[in-house]
Chain A
Amino acid sequence: MATAEFRICPRTGLQFHKSAEPLIKLNAVAAVVALLVGGVLALLITLTRWQAVHLIDADNFYLILTAHGLDMLVIWIIFFEVAILYFCSSTLLRCRLATPRLAWLSFALMVIGTITFNVAIFTGKATVMMTSYVPLPAHPTFYLGLILFAVGALVACFIFLGTLVVARAEKTYEGSIPLVTFGALTAAIIAIFTIASGAIILIPTFLWSVGYISHIDPAMYRVIWWAFGHSSQQINVSAHVAVWYAIAAIVFGAKPMSERVSRTAFFLYICFLQLASAHHILADPAVGTEWKVFNTSYAMYLAVLASMIHGLTVPGAIEIAQREKGFTKGMFEWVRKAPWGNPVFSGMFISLMGFGFLGGISGVMMGTEQLNMLIHNTIYVPGHFHATVVIGTTLAFMSLTYFLLPVLFNREMILQGWAKWQPYIFGLGMGVFCLAMMGAGTVGVPRRHWDITFAGAALPYEYPGTALLMLAICGVSGVIAIVGGAMYIVITVGTLLFGKRLDVGAYTTTISPLRLPVQAALTGHGGHGGGGFAAPGTFVFAMVFLTAFVLYYFVNWKYLSTVWPLK
């Protein structure tokens, strides 16, 4: 492997190894295909839950909801994350990918797994929702497909770790790995935990579905399944926070405010995020109160702390970079003069705001032991995770794509006017969508429910008018968000097919070790801040966030105090 060949991107100087480049591309393309499928399904779902439209019948609704959940939450995101893992290791560390043949095998397994369980779903043999709670049965190929996909993803994680070893052994960089790679490493470590949990529960469930095991305990299933189901979303958090740091660096040349703080925050994710999956079990029998409180408070709040730290340090790094460029007027000139027309930045910033304000605050509310009773299994829950995974993760990945199109795919982006608007349409549509879902959940509308008017039921219940209004708002804003998503797909696929070919750059076999000029960080934070703070504007944002957080948190305790006493 000594005759490694690198392509040097003429626009950024990034070096792509020929073993990694096609794999990064393929995984990203597979992700976008999954997003396309999931997006079409999303349209059908949102137009069905909008009671006035109520588009598709019950059987197909539940079937499509199952497919939408898996194709979006698992397939789109994990394929893209594999691309990110390879990029953050091989490209950022300028080294060859470890065991590229295995990486192809991993890709093949993931594709075969995806097709296998999708066939099971679309032939009507696995309408069990993403969670497939036992004893609700699915066809064995459903579990088998998930297992194959998971094994493929697991292989990819180990290839990432192997590539880090290669880079260190071949001395392709000096000092520590970059912060973004550290974030990707966090994601990979959480992914390994996640996939192991998935294997522990899905393999016996597969054996149960073919008749080798007589009984799977439903409470045990839930505890272990959520170590897979929720932790997989923690991979996303780590990955998209890494993407935020990357975009701040790419667009602004922003340095992390402090390597120590940001890395410690990632480390907190590794230690505590997975335990937070316990908050899915808060309204369950069979687990004790102390277990619930420990796992969701002590453990989860240290992860929440980590997210609050990233929420300050990412925009803080941008603020400092902007102030160094001379945007020092007042608190907020650095925000006003940010490149709002550049979708790489605007998407990332909307992702950060949506994740924090909508996803973060609602997530902590839901994860509080007693408050959880108010929203368990209501449509509030998808309201929360569409804010974290769609505005947070998906929009961050979309922004990164706009950067990668010319850099990795060597194509000039088509429809740049569309791309300018895409993050706003998608992000704001999704933001309203999430708020309306949470509103509907607050008045008790269930999730995963075909008809909340209960037509044909013996003893129907009439939800308050607000519920129907909220679902109608969901319908409208959902369609707007889907239009935004479709724009993204048209732009990316169109660019790959029709975009002007760009200079691919030179090829080289030699690489110089990566390092930054040492003087760059010696002056601390440039001394352009105010009030003794390097990033005063960001601090103001953070305090606004905290105020919203505290108010919303206690409003819900107030609400809880009025419901029936129970113990």
Chain B
Amino acid sequence: MSAILPPSQRIWWKQPIDKVEIVWIVIAFVWCMIMFFMMPYWHVYGKQNLSPETYRVKPELFAKAAQAMVDKYKVREETDAKIPVVAPPAGSDVYLIGRLWDWWPILELEKGKTYRLHLTSMDYQHGFSLQPENINIQVLPGYQHVVTITPNRSGTYAIVCNEFCGIGHHKMVSRLYVK
């Protein structure tokens, strides 16, 4: 029972190490280095990297910017709640608000075009989860996160909230269209 007893050799740090351990440590270390390398590599050559571009923002100011975008580019309304559907031009700044318990407004984007998507929360923390694409981003109140996106497939997408935000959390789901 020696792992539960003091080492039998007082100078245990000078005991030889078996080849099996050394070989495994080298292999494991090389693998760890490959995994380390993959992240910077993807920043250079990969196309899916989360932007760190963030600004502090007051909810009222963000809401104002979102409202201005809606006023300018609204194409129609959906559901009984008359949620505006907005089709902003390619390359523009688009605003998406997370709040208890919906995403506002509905965006209609064009396939292959690039947009600067601004995300924030008006109240608690929310989780932006684009389905079925499965891109998931944390949304914090007080922070405006700018992510540049390029939809590469057309279709009807859902934005699910995947951060618990109170009792209506499971009803917080909206749409996003790509034409």
Contact = CB atoms under 8 A, between A and B. Distances in A.
A518 B53 CA distance: 61
Contact of A533 (B18, B78, B174): B18
Given A284-B138, A524-B18, A246 B129 contact: no
A177 B2 CA distance: 11
A557 B35 CA distance: 11
A373 B5 contact: no
Contacts of A451: 170
- Most chain-A CB neighbours within 10 Å: which of B17, B21, B38, B124? B21
B107 interface: no
Contacts of A546: 27-28, 31
A454 B49 contact: no
A133 B163 contact: yes
Contact of A454 (B127, B145, B167, B171): B171
Contacts of A245: 3-4
A452 B162 CA distance: 10
- Most chain-B CB neighbours within 10 Å: which of A524, A546, A567? A567
Contact of A302 (B32, B50, B132, B171): B32
Contacts of A212: none
Contacts of A92: 4-5
Q: Is the interface of B mostly helix, strand, loop or mixed?
A: mixed
B173 A459 contact: yes
Given A374-B136, A377-B138, A560-B48, A297 B36 contact: yes
Interface in A505-550: 514-518, 520-521, 524-525, 529, 532-536, 538-539, 542, 546, 549-550
A37 interface: no
Nearest to A284: B138
B160 interface: yes
B6 A178 contact: yes
A38 B140 CA distance: 30
Contact of A534 (B18, B42, B127, B133): B18
Nearest to A539: B20
Given A133-B125, A285-B54, A378-B136, A174 B17 contact: no
Count class of interface residues, chain B: 35 or more
A3 interface: no
A58 B170 contact: yes
Nearest to B152: A564
Interface in A407-466: 442-444, 446-452, 454, 456-461, 463-464
Interface residues of A, number: 119
B137 A532 contact: no
Given A285-B52, A317-B3, A58 B149 contact: no
Contact of A566 (B123, B148, B165): B148
A525 B7 CA distance: 15
A280 to B, nearest CB: 9
A368 B38 contact: yes
Given A376-B137, A378-B136, A566 B49 contact: yes
A309 B32 CA distance: 12
Contacts of B36: 297-298, 301
B143 interface: yes
B32 A305 contact: yes
B32 A175 contact: no
Interface stretch (A104-112, A201-209, A257-265, A332-340): A257-265
A369 B41 CA distance: 12
A293 B40 contact: yes
Given A180-B3, A217-B142, A448 B24 contact: no
Of all A-B residue pairs in the complex, the 6 with the closest CB atoms, nearest first, are A461-B158, A285-B145, A446-B162, A301-B32, A565-B47, A376-B136
30 contacts: A58-B167, A62-B167, A175-B10, A219-B143, A246-B4, A256-B2, A257-B21, A258-B16, A283-B138, A286-B145, A304-B35, A316-B20, A316-B21, A368-B35, A378-B136, A444-B129, A444-B160, A447-B162, A454-B173, A458-B83, A460-B173, A514-B5, A521-B15, A532-B19, A535-B18, A535-B20, A538-B20, A550-B31, A566-B135, A567-B51
Given A218-B141, A293-B43, A517-B8, 10 more contacts: A92-B5, A174-B10, A178-B3, A250-B4, A284-B140, A304-B35, A370-B42, A516-B5, A521-B2, A538-B20
